[in-house]
Amino acid sequence: RQYVGRSPQDKALLNRFCYLHWPWDKELEKRLATIEWLKYKKDGKENDNELKLELDSFWSLREAIEELSIDHILSMRNLLQCVRLLAIGNLNKNEVHRSTIFRGMDKDTAVKIIQRAKQLDNARQSTLEADAYTEVNTVKQLKDAQPF
């Protein structure tokens, strides 16, 4: 990724640094999001499902952006902004995502990201369903098996 301040960095300066791939820590993001969710939730009730759906959605969108090589950053800050706004409850999910995730992005790019994220979600869901089916069949086969 290329980070730019008020002016692009000189190539000679950038050449002085080495770059390490540092994956996102989803467990840390989940913990911090839960804290923010509980802090901002008006009714004081923890709705694990709503928060889990937002985390999964955010992570799918981030993965789609990376796969599509789109020059856009979805940081932990963006995740916490989404969680706070959804917890407060004055905006729906589309409005929250437009103002935090897709801000400054053209509509066609946003649509590409959303479509790819949905494909990723569907693939994950199919894998989970297949794993569950396999597990159920394995248990059934073990129950039906003749003792030695």
Q: Are 99 and 85 in contact (CB under 8 A)?
A: yes
Q: Per residue in 95-133, pLDDT tens? A: 999 999 999 999 999 999 999 999 998 888 877 666 666
Looking at residue 36, what DSSP letter applies? H
pLDDT at 111: 94
pLDDT, tens digit, 9 for 90 and up, residues 2-55: 555 656 667 788 788 888 888 999 999 999 999 999 998 876 666 668 899 999
Q: How far apart are CA 8 and CA 28, in angstroms?
A: 31
Nearest to 78 by CA among 106, 107, 99, 48: 99
More confident residue, 9 or 142: 9
